[in-house]
Amino acid sequence: MAVRNLDAGRNVKEAILNEINGAKIDVMQLDLSSMPSVRKFASEFQSSNLPLNILINNAGVMATPFMLSHENIELQFATNHLGHFLLTNLLLDTMKLTARESKRERKIVNLSSKGHRMVYGEGNPFDHINDESGYCPRFAYGQSKLANIFMLMSFQGV
């Protein structure tokens, strides 16, 4: 499990282990709003030599006031899309190798919502990523979810 808060992640791990005897769970820290954190996580995961058949991108923030990530990117877009995009790209070769060695299909799953329908109405919705003056929390959330849909479409057949 990739978690932002290690203590909370360890508590969830213990709860799962209490319910599922013999479950194998690793907990590693990951903050998807921080690209250095994503790179560090991917490097540590690859160094662990653990297999990776399924990647479930589920982290996100919603309808936050205008804030920038450490890299000066609107927080919802950085967390909900760019973090997932970078993580997926960094782990794709590991997924391909695991699929080849295990002879099992690989899957990338992005959990989402109908939020992709709520985007800025004029022009390209991605022109407004860091525009504080016209910022709308719902539309910013929507553009991050729309970007995830485009990302998954680009991975079709990869």
Mean pLDDT by groups of 10 residues along the chain of 158 residues:
96 97 93 97 96 91 92 95 96 96 91 70 78 88 87 78
The pLDDT score that the predictor gives to residue 143 is 87
The one-letter code for the residue type at 134 is G
* Active-site residue set: 135
Q: Domains along the chain?
A: 1-30 (no CATH), 31-154 (3.40.50.720)
Count, in order, helices (H) and strands (E) of the chain: 5, 4
